[in-house]
C-alpha cells in the first residue's frame, strides 16, 4: 500500500511529469530558499514546509527523494506542497532522510543546486501551538490576541482577543505539560482582570493579588498534578536605550515568588523563594513536582547598575502535602561563574533537562540580541549551548521557549529574521540532548513573514487542543474574579 | 396671477430637486470648503492609512467584517496624498451618495422632493468623514448598502429575489459590516410596502431576511472576535465616535423615506418644516462636533512639516494664533530648523516645556505621539523617534500608516538595521505614491551600497547625532535625551538650543545657566540670543561672584532694561498687566507670569 501510494504521488502528485535537467547548470551549493528549511530535522506531522526562491528566478522545481518514493513540485517562485501528499510522504519516510533537489530557472537557463536534506524524526511534535500576536511596540499594546495554530496544517483560530476584553493586556498562556488539558494566562485589567485558569475546558478567573504580595502573579509554572501554580510577583519597569542597536530594557524593581493553591484559593510563599535583598523570578516546577526551579539575583541599584543585575538558576525542594519548601537552595547555573544572567527555565517533561535563556544581564531577554537558549542536563549539570538551535550564535534573541510533551521538540520565539519581529522556531532535541538546526513555523504562503506586522510572542505547545474560545473569554472577563488568601508560608 | 407665480416657483423648485441640483450645489460648496479650509485633515487620513497592491495585505482585510468597504476606503484614501484631490474626491463621493439616496427614496415613493430630502442623510454622513477619528469606510459601507438595495430593487420581483439576498446576507456582512442589518430593514420595508401581490413564501422570506440580517452580526462576532456592539457597528469604532452620530444617517434616511411617503397628506408641509428644522439643527451640531477647524490649523503645521515646507509653517504661524502646546511644538520646530529657536522664542505662544517636546501618554489621541516623533527625529534621537513611531502606529485608528512606515524605514536605515528597513520597504514599494521612494531606497539596500546610503542627506545628518553612549531613560525624560545627544555631538546645536529653551520654558534658570556655561565655547561663537542674555541676568543676580561672568557677554542695554523691569515690578507690586506692554517679550516677564496651559 505505501509503495502504491508513493507511485500515486508520482503520478498525480503536484505536477504531472518530471522535468529534464540534462542541460541544467549544476552548482555545488545549496539553494538560497526562504524560509531556510535546508538540512533540518522535522517532525513527521509538520505542515508542508512551503518555501520560495529569490525574485530573480521565474520557475522553480523541487524534487523530494526519500527511500520510499519521490515527489516533484513546480512553482513560479514558490514551492507549495499539497497538504495531504506532504503528510503521507513524511509518514512514509519517518525515521529516514529526504533529499530535496531544487532547480530554478533564470533567464531561460536552469540551475540545479546541491540537494539539502530533511531528516524526518520518529517523534511527532505536539500539534497545537498557541502564541500571542502583538505589535512590536515596546511596552504598550492596542490589539492583542492569543491564537491557536494547528502545526500539522495551516489552520489558525483566535482563542482570546483583547478586543472582547476592554483592550486589556493578555499574556503568558502556559500549558501544564503533564496535564495538557490545563493552562492559564493573565488578563491585565484594573477592574476585571485576573488569571484565567483552564481546567479541562472549565474556566476560572482568579485574582492573585493580595495586600501582602508585590503584585498579581506574573511568570508562572504549573505543578504537574495541576493543583498548584508557581508565580513570580514583580514590579516591572520598562526603560529605553539611547543607542541604536538596543531598544529596550525591562527590569524588575523588586520580585518574589508565590504559589497559588487552586484547590483552596490560597497563595503562600516561603523563605527560600522570597528572600530579603534578592530578586526571585521565573519559577518552574520539576517534572515530578518535588522541586521548584527559579531565577534569583542579588538586588542592585536600579536603573544605574542595570548591567550588574544577573540572575542565577536555583532549585529548592517542595513538599506538596505540607506546602512547604526545603531549606537548602542549590545553584544550577551560577551567574558569577559564567558572567551571564539566566531566565525562563523550562524543564523537559521527561525531567532530564532544563532549557534556559542565557544573556549578558537583566531578566528580560526579548530585547537582548545576544540571548541564547542553553540546555542544562539536570543529572550532570552540563550546559549545552545549542549552537545549531541558536542559529550558530548569530545575533538576535531566542527566548520564550517551550517543550513538546514528548521532550523531543522545542519551540521558541526568535527575532533573528530582522531584530524586531519575533517568529516561532522549532528545533529537535535528540535523545542525547543535542539540539538540531531550528526552522520557522511553516506558513501556506512562504512570503507570509515578510508581510506580517505582528510579533509572535510566547509560543506554547499543547498536546491536546485548548478547549476554550473567544466567547468563553468574553464571558469569564465579565464575571467577578475568585479571590485568594495569602497564608504566608515557610 | 399670484397663484400662477406660486405654482411656477414651486415647479421650478421641483425641477431643481428632480435634477439633483441641491446635491450638486452642495458638492461644489463642499469641494470649495475642503480646498480652502480642510485639506490637511485629508492629508492626515492618507498618512495614517495604508493601501498596498499586495495579495497578503489585501487578504488581511478579511480578518474583520466590512472588508470590502475598508479596502475601497483605503484605496481611495491613498489619493489624498496629492494636494487638491480631497476637494475632488470627497464631493464626487458626496454626489454618488446623494444620487443613490435620491434613487432609494424614489424607490419607496413618487414624492417630488426626493432631491431635497436626499441632502439630509448625505450631509450627515459626509460630516462624519470630517471627523479626525474616522476614515471613509463607514461612508463606503453606507454607499454600498444603498447600491445593494438598488440592485435588489432592480431584480425582477420574483420569489427568488428574496432568496438570493437571504443567501447573500453573511457574505454581505463580511463585505460591508453591520450595515447589512439596515439593508435588511430597508428590504423589509420595501417588500411590505409592495406586498399586495405577495405569496406566503415571499412574506416568509421577507421576514427571514429581516431576522437573518439582524442575527448575522451575532452569529459571526465570535468568528471575527468582536464585541456585541462592534458586531452591529463595524466598521465604525463607537469608542471614537459617539453612537448617536453613527446612527443619525440611518435614522435620517428612514425619516426622509417616510417624509416622501406623506407628501400628499394635509399635514405634510408642517412635517416638512419640522423635519427640515430638526435636520438643520442636527447638521449644525454635527459640524460643530466633527468639523474641527482648530485641529485643521494644527494639522496644517504637521503636514507642512512632513512635506518639508518650513516657509509655509512660518506663513501659517503669522496667519493663525496657535495657543496649544502642539502648535508651539511645530512653530518651535520650524524656528529650530531655521536656527532661530531662541531668537523667535516670543513669536510663539509658549505653553511651557511641553511646547517643545509633547509629553507622551497612553491615553488620548495618537497625534501628540506623531508630533513628538518628529521632534526627536529632527534632533537625532532616532531611537526615541522609532519608539514613538511604533506607538503612534499602534494607537492610530488603522494600525497602519504610510507616514509612520516611512519614518520607521528612515530610522532603521540610519541605525543600519537594514533587514527591518527592507521589510517595511517591500510593502511600501507596493503602494501608489510611496513606491518610487521605497524602490530607490530598496535598490540601494539590495546593492549593499553603504557609500550611497551614507550620502542620503537624512542618513548623513542624523548619523552624526545618534547617541553612542549606552544609557537607559524613561519615555518623557527629554532632558536626558538632550544630554545624550550633546554627549554624542556637542556641535548638535539643535539639541543644545532645545535643551536651553526646555530649561527656560520650565523656568529652570540654574539648569539653563549650567548648560550655557558648559557649552559656552560653542554658544559664544555667534551672537548670544537676547533671550539667553535675559535669562543669564536672572542667574547673575543670584550668583554674581562666579568667575565665568567675565566671559559671558550680556549687553548693557539688557542689564539696564532688567533694572527698569525690576523697579517697575516692585513699583506695581508684581501686577503683570502693567508690565505687559513694555516687557511682554522678555524672559523676565515669562518667568514671572507665564503658566503652562492646559492641553486642548
Q: pLDDT by residue (tens digit) across A70-99?
A: 999 999 999 999 999 999 999 999 999 999
Q: Are residues A57 and A171 in the same domain?
A: no
- Inter-chain contact A137–B394, Cβ cutoff 8 Å? yes
Residue A474 has pLDDT above 90, yes or no: yes
Instruction: Please give the pLDDT value at position B177.
Output: 96
Most confidently modeled range among A90-94, A134-138, B475-479: A90-94
**Angle, helix B293-307 to helix B325-337, in steps of 10 degrees:** 20
Long-range contacts of B427-432 (CB under 8 A, 24+ apart): B427/A451, B427/B52, B427/B54, B427/B57, B428/B52, B428/B402, B430/B52, B430/B53, B430/B54, B430/B57, B431/B50, B431/B51, B431/B52, B431/B53, B431/B78, B431/B402, B432/B51, B432/B53, B432/B78, B432/B79
Q: pLDDT by residue (tens digit) across A276-289?
A: 999 999 999 999 99
**Phi, psi of B64, rounded to the nearest 5 degrees:** -135, 160
- Inter-chain contact A419–B419, Cβ cutoff 8 Å? yes
| A324-333 β-sheet, strand order | A278-285, A291-298, A312-319, A324-333
Tell me the three cell numbers of residue B121.
442623510
Instruction: Please give the pLDDT value at position A16.
Output: 40
Percent of chain B with pLDDT over 70: 97
Segment A218-231 mean pLDDT: 95
Cα A158 from Cα A447, distance rounded (Å): 21
Q: Which chain B residues are closer than 8 Å to A448 by Cβ? A: 56
CB atoms within 10 A of CB A65: 16
Cα B371 from Cα B299, distance rounded (Å): 10
Local structure of A411: helix, strand or coil: strand
C-alpha pair distances (Å), A57 with each of A80, A98, B187, B425, B584: 16, 24, 53, 21, 70
Instruction: Please give the pLDDT value at position B10.
Output: 66
Instruction: Please give the pLDDT value at position B505.
Output: 95
- Inter-chain contact B383–A242, Cβ cutoff 8 Å? yes
- Which helix (H) or strand (E) element contains residue B415? none
Cα A483 from Cα A488, distance rounded (Å): 16
H-type helices in A60-161, by residue range?
A: 83-92
Instruction: Please give the pLDDT value at position A399.
Output: 85
Cα A99 from Cα A118, distance rounded (Å): 6
Residue B475 has pLDDT above 90, yes or no: no
DSSP notation for A270-315: -GGGS-TTEEEEEEEE-TTSSEEEEEEEE---TTTTGGG---EEEE
Q: Mean pLDDT score of chain B, rounded to an integer?
A: 90
The band of A137, judged by pLDDT with boundaries at 50, 70 and 90, is: low
Comparing B197 with B412, which gets the higher pLDDT?
A: B412
Tell which residue, B510, B509, B508, B484, has the closest CA to residue B496: B484
Paired with A315 in beta bridges are A293, A330
Q: Mean pLDDT score of chain A, rounded to an integer?
A: 90
C-alpha pair distances (Å), A430 with each of A52, A121, A410, B134: 28, 9, 11, 54
The beta-carbon neighbor of B473 closest among A145, A242, A417 is A242
- Inter-chain contact B391–A138, Cβ cutoff 8 Å? yes
Q: pLDDT by residue (tens digit) across B535-585?
A: 999 988 888 777 777 777 788 888 889 999 989 988 888 787 788 888 888
Paired with A280 in beta bridges are A296
Tell which residue, B9, B167, B28, has the closest CA to residue B95: B28
Q: Are residues A175 and A236 in the same domain?
A: yes
**Hunting for cell 485643521 — which residue is that?**
B296
Instruction: Please give the pLDDT value at position A124.
Output: 97
Asked if the structure places residue A486 within a domain, the reply is no
H-type helices in A105-149, by residue range?
A: none
Q: pLDDT by residue (tens digit) across A109-132?
A: 899 999 999 999 999 999 999 999
Segment B408-435 mean pLDDT: 94
Cα B451 from Cα B457, distance rounded (Å): 12
| A439-440 β-sheet, strand order | A398-403, A409-414, A423-428, A439-440
Tell me the three cell numbers of residue A140.
504598550
**Angle, helix B493-505 to helix B325-337, in steps of 10 degrees:** 150
Segment B98-104 mean pLDDT: 94
Q: Are residues A77 and A207 in the same domain?
A: no
**Could you tell me which residues come within 8 angstroms of residue B238 by beta carbon, excluding any fewer than 6 positions away?**
B229, B230, B246
Instruction: Please give the pLDDT value at position B158.
Output: 79
Tell me the three cell numbers of residue B464.
552624526
Instruction: Please give the pLDDT value at position B237.
Output: 81
- Which helix (H) or strand (E) element contains residue B556? helix B556-571
Q: Which is it for strands A109-112 and A25-26: parallel, antiparallel or unpaired?
A: parallel
Q: Which chain A residues are closer than 8 Å to B475 by Cβ? A: 240
State the CATH number of the domain containing residue A63. 2.60.40
In B169-228, the residues whose Cβ lies within 8 Å of chain A are 222, 225-227
- Worst-scoring range by mean pLDDT, A92-96, A211-215, B261-265, B505-509? B261-265
Q: Are residues A166 and A99 in the same domain?
A: no
Q: pLDDT by residue (tens digit) across A361-413?
A: 999 998 898 999 999 999 999 999 999 999 866 777 788 999 999 999 999 99
Cα A117 from Cα A408, distance rounded (Å): 19
Q: pLDDT by residue (tens digit) across B370-388?
A: 999 999 999 999 999 998 9
Cβ B467 vs Cβ B485: under 8 Å: yes
Whether A451 contacts chain B with CB within 8 A: yes
Q: Which chain A residues are closer than 8 Å to B417 by Cβ? A: 244-245, 418-420
Instruction: Please give the pLDDT value at position B204.
Output: 85
Instruction: Please give the pLDDT value at position B273.
Output: 87
**Could you tell me which residues come within 8 angstroms of residue A398 by beta carbon, excluding any fewer than 6 positions away?**
A357, A371, A372, A373, A389, A390, A391, A412, A413, A414, A416, A425
Domain hosting residue A109, numbered range: 2-120
Tell me the three cell numbers of residue A280.
526571585
Tell me the three cell numbers of residue B379.
534632533
Q: pLDDT by residue (tens digit) across B147-173?
A: 999 999 999 887 888 889 999 999 999
Instruction: Please give the pLDDT value at position B503.
Output: 96
| CA Rg value for chain B | 30
State the CATH number of the domain containing residue A426. 2.120.10.30
Asked if the structure places residue A484 within a domain, the reply is no
Segment A12-17 mean pLDDT: 42
Tell me the three cell numbers of residue B522.
560653542
Q: Suggest the residue from A238, A240, A245 to mutate for an interface test with chain B (most B CBs closer than 10 A).
A: A240
Segment A126-145 mean pLDDT: 82
Q: Which chain B residues are closer than 8 Å to A246 by Cβ? A: 470
The band of A10, judged by pLDDT with boundaries at 50, 70 and 90, is: very low
Q: Are residues A77 and A199 in the same domain?
A: no
**Could you tell me which residues come within 8 angstroms of residue A56 by beta carbon, excluding any fewer than 6 positions away?**
A106
Percent of chain A with pLDDT over 90: 75
Instruction: Please give the pLDDT value at position B196.
Output: 55
Chain-centre distance for alpha carbon B202: 47
Q: Are residues A69 and A198 in the same domain?
A: no
Segment A136-152 mean pLDDT: 81
C-alpha pair distances (Å), B100 with each of A306, A330, B119: 64, 77, 11
Q: Which chain B residues are closer than 8 Å to A452 by Cβ? A: 56
Cβ A429 vs Cβ A408: under 8 Å: yes
Cα B370 from Cα B385, distance rounded (Å): 9
Q: Are residues A160 and A110 in the same domain?
A: no
Whether A26 contacts chain B with CB within 8 A: no
Asked if the structure places residue A483 within a domain, the reply is no
Segment B464-487 mean pLDDT: 91
Whether B231 contacts chain A with CB within 8 A: no
**Phi, psi of A97, rounded to the nearest 5 degrees:** -105, 135
Q: What is the largest CA-CA distance in chain B?
A: 103
- Which helix (H) or strand (E) element contains residue B155? none
Q: How far apart are the first and last CA of chain B?
A: 59
**Could you tell me which residues come within 8 angstroms of residue A481 by beta carbon, excluding any fewer than 6 positions away?**
A192, A193, A194, A205, A206, A207
**Could you tell me which residues come within 8 angstroms of residue B500 by beta carbon, excluding any fewer than 6 positions away?**
B342, B512, B515, B516, B532
Instruction: Please give the pLDDT value at position B8.
Output: 56
**Hunting for cell 508581510 — which residue is that?**
A451
Paired with A234 in beta bridges are A255
C-alpha pair distances (Å), A464 with each of A225, A450, A468, B185, B442: 17, 30, 12, 44, 44
The band of A55, judged by pLDDT with boundaries at 50, 70 and 90, is: confident
Q: pLDDT by residue (tens digit) across B77-94?
A: 999 999 999 999 999 999
Q: Are residues A185 and A107 in the same domain?
A: no
Structure-derived torsion over alpha carbons of residues A278, A281, A286, A287, reported in degrees to the nearest 10: 180
Whether A249 contacts chain B with CB within 8 A: yes
Instruction: Please give the pLDDT value at position B4.
Output: 45
Q: Are residues A107 and A150 in the same domain?
A: no
- Considering only alpha carbons, which residue of chain B is nearest residue A303? B472
**Phi, psi of A401, rounded to the nearest 5 degrees:** -95, 165
Instruction: Please give the pLDDT value at position A440.
Output: 97
Instruction: Please give the pLDDT value at position A18.
Output: 52
Segment B97-125 mean pLDDT: 90
In A158-217, the residues whose Cβ lies within 8 Å of chain B are 158, 161, 163-164
Residue A9 has pLDDT above 90, yes or no: no
What global pTM score does this model have?
A: 0.90
Whether A11 contacts chain B with CB within 8 A: no
Of A120, A144, A172, the domain-final residue:
A120
Q: Suggest the residue from B56, B222, B225, B447 to mutate for an interface test with chain A (most A CBs closer than 10 A).
A: B225
Asked if the structure places residue A67 within a domain, the reply is yes
Q: Is the peptide bond before A35 cis (omega within 30 degrees of 0)?
A: yes
The beta-carbon neighbor of B484 closest among A242, A249, A470 is A242
Residue B493 has pLDDT above 70, yes or no: yes
Residue A13 has pLDDT above 60, yes or no: no
The residue ranges of every structural domain in chain B are 12-291
* CA B214, B132, B137, B257 torsion-angle sign: positive
Q: Which is it for strands A409-414 and A423-428: parallel, antiparallel or unpaired?
A: antiparallel
Cα A108 from Cα A368, distance rounded (Å): 45
C-alpha pair distances (Å), B270 with each of B12, B265, B267, B275: 21, 10, 5, 9
Tell which residue, B405, B63, B246, has the closest CA to residue A163: B63
Asked if the structure places residue A490 within a domain, the reply is no
Q: Give the count of domains, chain A.
A: 2
The band of B463, judged by pLDDT with boundaries at 50, 70 and 90, is: very high
Comparing A283 with A4, which gets the higher pLDDT?
A: A283
Segment A313-338 mean pLDDT: 95
Of A97, A120, A143, the domain-final residue:
A120
Amino acid at each position: 500500500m505505501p509503495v502504491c501510494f508513493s507511485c500515486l504521488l508520482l503520478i498525480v502528485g503536484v505536477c504531472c511529469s518530471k522535468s529534464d535537467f540534462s542541460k541544467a547548470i549544476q552548482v555545488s551549493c545549496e539553494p538560497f530558499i526562504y524560509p531556510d528549511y535546508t538540512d533540518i530535522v522535522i517532525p513527521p506531522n509538520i505542515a508542508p514546509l512551503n518555501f520560495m526562491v529569490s525574485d530573480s528566478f521565474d520557475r522553480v522545481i523541487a524534487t523530494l527523494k526519500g527511500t520510499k518514493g519521490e515527489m516533484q513540485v513546480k512553482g513560479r517562485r514558490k514551492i507549495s506542497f499539497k497538504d495531504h501528499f506532504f503528510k503521507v510522504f513524511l509518514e512514509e519516510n519517518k525515521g529516514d532522510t529526504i533529499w530535496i533537489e531544487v532547480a530554478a530557472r533564470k533567464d531561460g537557463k536552469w540551475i540545479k543546486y546541491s540537494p539539502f536534506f530533511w531528516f524526518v524524526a520518529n517523534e511527532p511534535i505536539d500539534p497545537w501551538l498557541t502564541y500571542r500576536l502583538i505589535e512590536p511596540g515596546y511596552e504598550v499594546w492596542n490589539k492583542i490576541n492569543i491564537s491557536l495554530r494547528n502545526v500539522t496544517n495551516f489552520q489558525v483560530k483566535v482563542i482570546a482577543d483583547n478586543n472582547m476584553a476592554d483592550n486589556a493586556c493578555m499574556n503568558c498562556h502556559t500549558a501544564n505539560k503533564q496535564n495538557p488539558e490545563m493552562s492559564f494566562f493573565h488578563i491585565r485589567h484594573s477592574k476585571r482582570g485576573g488569571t484565567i485558569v483552564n481546567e479541562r475546558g472549565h474556566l476560572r478567573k482568579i485574582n492573585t493579588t493580595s495586600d501582602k504580595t508585590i503584585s498579581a502573579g506574573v511568570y508562572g509554572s504549573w505543578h504537574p498534578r495541576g493543583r498548584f501554580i508557581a508565580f513570580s510577583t514583580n514590579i516591572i519597569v520598562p526603560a529605553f536605550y539611547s543607542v541604536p542597536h538596543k531598544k529596550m530594557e525591562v527590569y524588575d524593581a523588586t520580585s518574589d515568588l508565590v504559589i497559588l493553591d487552586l484547590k483552596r484559593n490560597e497563595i503562600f510563599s516561603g523563605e527560600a523563594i522570597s528572600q530579603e535583598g534578592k530578586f526571585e523570578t521565573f519559577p518552574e516546577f520539576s517534572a515530578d513536582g518535588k522541586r521548584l526551579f527559579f531565577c534569583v539575583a542579588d538586588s542592585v541599584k536600579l536603573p544605574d547598575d542595570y548591567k550588574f543585575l544577573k540572575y542565577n538558576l536555583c532549585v529548592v525542594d517542595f513538599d506538596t502535602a505540607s506546602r512547604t519548601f526545603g531549606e537548602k537552595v542549590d545553584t544550577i547555573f551560577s551567574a558569577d561563574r559564567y558572567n551571564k544572567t539566566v531566565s525562563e527555565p523550562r524543564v523537559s517533561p521527561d525531567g532530564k533537562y532544563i532549557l534556559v535563556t542565557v544573556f549578558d544581564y537583566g531578566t528580560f531577554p526579548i530585547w537582548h540580541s545576544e540571548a541564547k537558549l542553553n540546555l542544562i542536563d539536570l543529572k550532570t549539570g552540563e550546559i549545552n549551548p545549542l549552537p545549531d538551535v541558536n542559529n550558530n550564535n548569530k545575533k538576535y534573541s531566542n527566548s520564550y521557549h517551550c517543550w513538546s510533551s514528548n521532550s523531543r521538540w522545542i519551540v521558541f520565539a526568535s527575532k533573528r529574521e530582522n531584530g524586531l519581529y519575533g517568529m516561532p522556531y522549532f528545533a529537535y532535541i535528540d535523545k542525547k540532548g543535542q539540539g538540531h538546526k531550528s526552522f520557522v513555523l511553516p506558513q501556506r504562503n512562504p512570503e507570509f513573514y515578510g508581510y506580517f506586522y505582528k510579533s509572535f510572542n510566547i509560543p506554547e505547545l499543547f498536546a491536546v487542543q485548548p478547549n476554550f474560545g473567544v466567547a468563553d473569554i468574553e464571558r469569564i472577563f465579565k464575571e467577578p474574579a475568585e479571590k485568594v488568601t495569602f497564608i504566608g508560608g515557610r | 396671477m399670484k397663484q400662477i407665480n406660486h405654482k411656477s416657483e414651486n415647479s421650478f423648485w421641483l425641477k431643481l430637486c428632480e435634477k439633483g441640483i441641491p446635491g450638486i450645489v452642495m458638492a461644489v460648496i463642499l469641494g470649495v470648503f475642503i480646498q480652502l479650509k480642510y485639506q490637511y485633515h485629508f492629508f492626515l487620513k492618507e498618512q495614517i492609512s495604508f493601501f498596498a497592491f499586495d495579495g497578503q495585505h489585501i487578504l488581511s482585510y478579511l480578518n474583520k467584517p466590512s472588508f470590502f468597504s475598508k479596502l475601497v476606503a483605503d484605496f481611495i484614501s491613498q489619493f489624498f496624498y496629492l494636494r487638491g484631490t480631497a476637494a475632488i474626491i470627497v464631493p464626487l463621493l458626496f454626489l454618488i451618495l446623494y444620487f443613490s439616496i435620491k434613487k432609494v427614496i424614489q424607490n419607496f415613493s413618487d414624492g417630488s422632493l426626493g432631491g431635497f430630502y436626499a441632502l439630509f442623510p448625505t450631509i450627515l454622513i459626509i460630516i462624519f468623514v470630517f471627523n479626525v477619528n474616522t476614515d471613509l469606510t463607514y461612508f463606503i459601507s453606507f454607499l454600498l448598502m444603498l447600491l445593494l438595495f438598488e440592485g435588489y430593487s432592480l431584480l425582477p420581483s420574483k420569489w427568488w429575489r428574496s432568496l438570493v439576498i437571504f443567501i447573500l446576507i453573511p457574505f454581505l456582512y463580511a463585505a460591508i459590516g453591520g450595515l447589512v442589518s439596515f439593508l435588511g430593514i430597508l428590504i423589509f420595508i420595501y417588500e411590505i410596502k409592495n406586498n399586495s401581490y405577495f405569496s406566503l413564501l415571499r412574506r416568509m422570506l421577507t421576514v427571514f431576511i429581516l431576522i437573518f440580517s439582524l442575527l448575522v452580526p451575532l452569529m459571526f462576532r465570535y468568528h471575527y472576535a468582536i464585541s456585541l456592539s462592534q458586531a452591529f457597528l463595524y466598521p465604525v469604532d463607537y469608542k471614537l465616535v459617539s453612537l448617536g452620530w453613527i446612527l443619525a444617517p440611518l435614522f435620517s434616511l428612514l425619516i426622509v423615506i417616510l417624509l416622501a411617503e406623506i407628501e400628499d397628506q394635509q399635514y405634510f408641509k408642517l412635517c416638512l418644516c419640522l423635519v427640515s428644522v430638526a435636520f438643520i439643527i442636527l447638521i449644525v451640531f454635527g459640524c460643530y462636533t466633527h468639523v474641527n477647524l482648530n485641529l485643521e490649523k494644527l494639522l496644517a503645521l504637521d503636514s507642512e512639516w512632513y512635506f518639508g515646507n518650513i516657509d509655509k509653517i512660518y506663513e501659517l504661524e503669522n496667519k493663525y494664533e496657535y495657543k496649544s502646546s502642539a502648535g508651539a511644538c511645530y512653530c518651535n520646530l520650524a524656528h529650530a530648523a531655521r536656527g532661530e529657536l531662541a531668537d523667535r522664542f516670543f513669536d510663539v505662544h509658549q505653553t511651557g516645556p511641553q511646547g517643545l517636546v509633547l509629553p507622551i501618554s497612553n491615553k488620548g489621541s495618537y497625534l501628540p505621539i506623531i508630533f513628538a516623533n518628529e521632534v526627536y527625529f529632527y534632533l537625532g534621537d532616532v531611537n526615541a523617534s522609532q519608539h514613538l513611531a511604533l506607538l503612534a502606529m499602534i494607537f492610530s485608528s488603522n494600525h497602519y500608516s504610510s507616514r509612520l512606515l516611512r519614518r520607521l524605514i528612515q530610522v532603521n536605515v540610519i541605525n543600519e538595521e537594514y533587514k527591518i528597513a527592507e521589510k517595511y520597504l517591500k510593502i511600501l514599494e507596493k503602494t501608489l505614491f510611496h513606491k518610487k521612494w521605497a524602490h530607490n531606497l530598496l535598490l540601494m539596500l539590495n546593492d549593499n551600497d553603504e557609500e550611497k546610503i551614507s550620502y542620503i542627506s537624512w542618513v548623513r545628518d542624523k548619523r552624526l547625532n545618534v547617541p553612542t553612549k549606552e544609557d537607559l531613560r524613561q519615555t518623557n525624560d527629554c532632558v536626558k535625551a538632550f544630554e545624550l545627544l550633546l554627549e554624542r555631538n556637542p556641535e548638535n546645536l539643535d539639541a543644545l538650543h532645545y535643551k536651553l529653551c526646555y530649561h527656560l520654558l520650565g523656568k529652570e534658570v540654574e539648569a539653563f545657566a549650567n548648560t550655557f556655561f558648559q557649552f559656552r565655547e560653542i554658544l559664544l561663537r555667534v551672537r548670544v540670543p537676547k533671550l539667553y542674555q535675559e535669562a543669564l541676568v536672572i542667574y547673575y543676580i543670584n550668583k554674581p561672584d562666579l568667575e565665568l561672568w567675565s566671559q559671558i557677554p550680556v549687553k548693557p542695554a539688557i542689564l539696564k532694561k532688567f533694572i527698569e523691569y525690576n523697579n517697575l515690578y516692585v513699583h506695581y507690586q508684581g501686577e503683570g498687566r502693567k508690565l505687559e506692554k513694555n516687557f511682554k517679550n522678555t524672559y523676565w516677564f515669562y518667568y514671572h507670569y507665564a503658566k503652562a496651559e492646559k492641553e486642548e
